[in-house]
Amino acid sequence: MPVEPRKEARHVLLGVTGCIGVYKAVEILRGLQQAGATVQVVMTRHATEFVRPLTFEALSGRPVVVGMYERPDYAVIEHIALAREAQLLLVAPATANVLAKFAQGLADDFLTTLYLSNTNPVLVAPAMNVEMWHHPATRENLARLRARGVSIVEPGSGYQACGEVGVGRLAEPAEIVSRALALMVAEGAGQRRDFAEAHVLVTAGPTVEDLDPVRFLTNRSSGRMGYALAEAARDRGARVTLVTGPVQLPRPQGMEVVEARSTREMYRAVMGALEARTIYLGAAAVADFRPAVQAETKIKKRGDGRVTLELEPTEDILAAVAAAPGRDGRFVAGFAAESENLLAYAESKLRAKGLDLIIANDVTIPGAGFDGETNVATLLRRDGQRRDLPIQTKRAMADRILDEIAGMRSIEAPLTEHREEVSR
């Protein structure tokens, strides 16, 4: 029986394809190295039109592989040898072209041949024009890759090199590095499926309360934290239902997604989906108030222009979930975004609503506010324990939150079984 080659700890194959986002691949390389990984770079011919291989060679300390036949004196079959010594194949940026080749099993250059001979986890970070991202062919290719177990770092939204605005920008290097490291940790310990028996219900984004047909009340929530939690739970084996307010984020795959605009709509969606859900993660920034009366026509300026609005409280979704029938065995976690007295307010909310866990954010801290890629938090448990989470990407924080929940549930499981045994 042939002996499998020993894999070096945290060894990454970094595939780089041809688009303007190539410059971020240099930051990704450095981020992986700072985390202790060794990196072998593989570039497509088109990628070398944007950044020369010498840049990656100088930083990685390894020759960059571009063509299939550039080293005829090698005694090994190089694409197989490289795949055997790695823990992860990361392709960033991944163009629509290379995604199509991966999905169809085409192997016409070194990178696509490497993909077919690779047996390690694969992580791709797409980057392309917004119309290319939304094209049915690209959506089908992504769905096919997901079905084969390929992990995907969704692109961001914003101004693109072509002058258009929309989804398609390469995700930030810190997020890509975080996902890559998480995959390697999971692979090293055996892929984490610690939520395989869970059915997780997540809320995300803001809610919107209309004043009249033109104006509305809302907040700055981007939905990124809730989406990160939903995706992390999905990747750890959970069946996930995501109830989302209006956000500018790609629709996540591999889960049920329910859209809601107002607090009342989100409340109805959550309560309608609550049955049989074992974990509730209330990450949405739900509006606390709405106009007592919604004007049927646009409110006009009159006199001195002053307008008095009468507001009424909205539904308290988190409290309703915590108090819902069938709470035994359901884990309920919420968020507290505050600008002062963070721990006092969060502790009060934890106790008043009867939560198992609350994630407290001081939105005045740099890196912890709304609509950012990172977060800073303190986890407060109902048993009084507290854990501080330093600044990190929201996806990394999502996994830390799930780690905490997994630990709390594993402690409670024997107690629950004991109570059931006594009752019998």
- Please give the positions annotated as active site: 162
Cβ count within 10 A of residue 207: 29
Which amino acid type is present at position 198?
A: A
What's the rounded Cα separation, in Å, for the pair 334 and 422?
A: 31
Instruction: List, in sequence order, every residue forming a beta bridge with 337; answer none if it has no partner.
Output: 361
In the block, tokens 């809730």 appear at 226
Which amino acid type is present at position 212?
A: D
Contact between 128 and 19 under an 8 Å Cβ cutoff? The reply is yes
Angle between helices 110-117 and 96-104 (to 10 degrees): 40
Contact between 46 and 20 under an 8 Å Cβ cutoff? The reply is no
Structure tokens at 202: 């997540």
Give which of 286, 265, 287, 269 is closest to 277, Cα–Cα. Answer: 269
What's the rounded Cα separation, in Å, for the pair 121 and 86?
A: 10
Structure tokens at 391: 């600044």
